[in-house]
Each structure stands twice: as structure tokens, then as C-alpha cells.
Amino acid sequence: MINFIGTYDCKADTKGRVMLPVALKNQMSPILNDGFVLKRSVFQPCLELYPMAEWNLLMQKMKKMNRFKKKNDDFIRRFSAGVKIVEIDATGRLLIPKNLVEVAGITKEVVLSSAINIIEIWDKDGYEKVLNDTAEDFAGLAEEVMGGDDYELS
């Protein structure tokens, strides 16, 4: 299991290629040859880059869903809409398919943001907006999510 660290400002070219920063590429080096899955986010206007091993773990959980329940079937369809297998090329570039560039509203300025075991790919303006919109109530959210009595720091 990999845990990514960092937030990186990058640029996308007109073909949707993003050069990975050296620090991020170094973190990915043990898994570069395994490939990645790129998909739209469920909650935000960004993309999510899953290392193949992480994607496979998620798919094992989803395979257990009963496809004869309409809500499960609808969820799986929507969740997997636009999913693509991608690779990081020899020069360290990620090619974002055109349809996913449009979904995330990616222009030239891009932010790659670690989200534990995946990388979020944002248009810079969208990323800044989401950070600003959630800044005011982050302390309350942190208390609600992490401040319960059942949380241990061990």
C-alpha cells in the first residue's frame, strides 16, 4: 500500500499531458510499471488517479455488491463512467484523455494533490475554490471526523 504525500502545481499541454514533478514520480517509482486507473471524482470536479493495486482492492469490494439491486447497479454504472487505464510514460508524463480533461475543467494550470492512496488531479482555479469554500468550517469538520472518543493515535 502506498501513501502519497504532497501537493504539486503543474502545467497541462494542449494534448492533456502533464509532467509529473520529480518528488511525486519518485514516490510512484515502485508502482510505475503496474499502471494506473483514472476516473472522475464522485464528490468534486476533479479526477482521481488510482495505482492499479489500489483500484483492484476497490473493485474487489464493489464485486460484492448485489447487481440485482437497482441502486447498486446505478451506482456502479455512474462510478465507472469514463474510467480509463493510463500509464506514466518514460519521460514522466501522464496523458489525460480529452473527455476527462473536459469533465474536470482542466485548462493549463493543474494541481496534483495527494489524497492518501490516490492522487487528485484538479484545474488550479477549481482546487483553490474548493479549498477556500471549505476553509471556514474545516475545524468543525476535523472535530466531527477525527475527534470522536473512538479515535486512537496509536
Question: Looking at residue 111, which CATH number applies to its domain?
Answer: 3.40.1550.20
> Is residue 90 within a helix (H) or strand (E), and if so which, with residue range?
none
| Residue-number span of the structural domain to which 131 is assigned | 7-146
| Alpha carbon distance 85, 50 (integer Å) | 9
Instruction: Tell me the C-alpha distance between 13 and 78, whole Å.
Output: 28
Per-residue pLDDT of the chain (154 residues; tens, 9 = 90+): 789 999 999 999 999 999 999 999 999 999 999 999 999 999 999 999 999 999 999 999 999 999 999 999 999 999 999 899 999 999 999 999 999 999 999 999 999 999 999 999 999 999 999 998 877 778 788 888 888 766 565 5
- Residue 116, in any domain of the structure: yes
pTM: 0.90
Q: Residue 64 gets which letter from DSSP?
A: T
How many independent structural domains does the chain possess?
1
Q: Is residue 153 part of a domain?
A: no
> What are the grid coordinates assigned to 145, written together?
471526523
For residues 48 and 141, give the distance between their C-alpha atoms in angstroms, rounded to a whole number. 22
